[in-house]
Amino acid sequence: MNNPVITLGEYSDKASLEEKCVMAPKFDDNGLIPAVAMDAETKEPLMLAYMNKQSLLMTLELGEAVYYSRSRQEIWHKGATSGHTQKVKEIRTDCDQDALIIYVEQLGAGACHTGRNSCFYRKVNLDDGKNPAALSFTKSELTFDPNIVYRNK
């Protein structure tokens, strides 16, 4: 027997959206909702991407993060190319249900196409007086070689 098809709710009022327990995500004018993938164990942010309704439903059905690529304008099953899939551990939604946090187990070496575990590998140098504002690397080492992982893809 197949699993029943998952559906999403629809809300008409703010109070229900905020205080009830039906998942009724609010997609923006482009049909997208931002989703922040975080490492379920370390709680470090890995990446911020977007989901459309279809990719969110695929995420719920597969148990793996599926995004919508704005640049390629297509469904993006994270890890389909690199093997670095994200196993979903928990999904949180915010008060007005227009943002998602996805706690994942990041399989393979990393989430970032640059070859790093996290896309958030640089921080802003606060108060250093530089203009324009400068960044520094929090983690610069590569955890995998993108030229190998993505070759011939």
Site membership for its own copies, residue 53 (CB under 8 A): no
Question: CB of 80: closest distance to its own copies in angstroms?
Answer: 19
Binding to its own copies in span 30-49, by CB under 8 A: 34, 36, 38, 43-45, 47-48
Non-local CB neighbours of 23 within 8 Å, separated by 6+ positions: 8, 9, 93, 97
Cβ(11)–Cβ(22) below 8 Å: yes
Question: CB of 111: closest distance to its own copies in angstroms?
Answer: 10
Binding-residue pattern over the window 97 to 126 for its own copies, x denoting contact by CB under 8 A = --x-x----------xxx-x--xxxxxx-x
Question: CB of 144: closest distance to its own copies in angstroms?
Answer: 14
Size of the site for its own copies (CB under 8 A): 54
User: From the list 31, 138, 145, 150, which residue makes contact with its own copies (rule: CB under 8 A)?
Assistant: 138
Cβ(93)–Cβ(122) below 8 Å: no
C-alpha span between 146 and 109 (Å, rounded): 10
User: From the list 90, 105, 145, 150, which residue makes contact with its own copies (rule: CB under 8 A)?
Assistant: 90
C-alpha span between 112 and 148 (Å, rounded): 14
Question: CB of 127: closest distance to its own copies in angstroms?
Answer: 8
Q: Which of these, 26, 46, 29, 20, lies nearest to 143 by C-alpha position?
A: 46
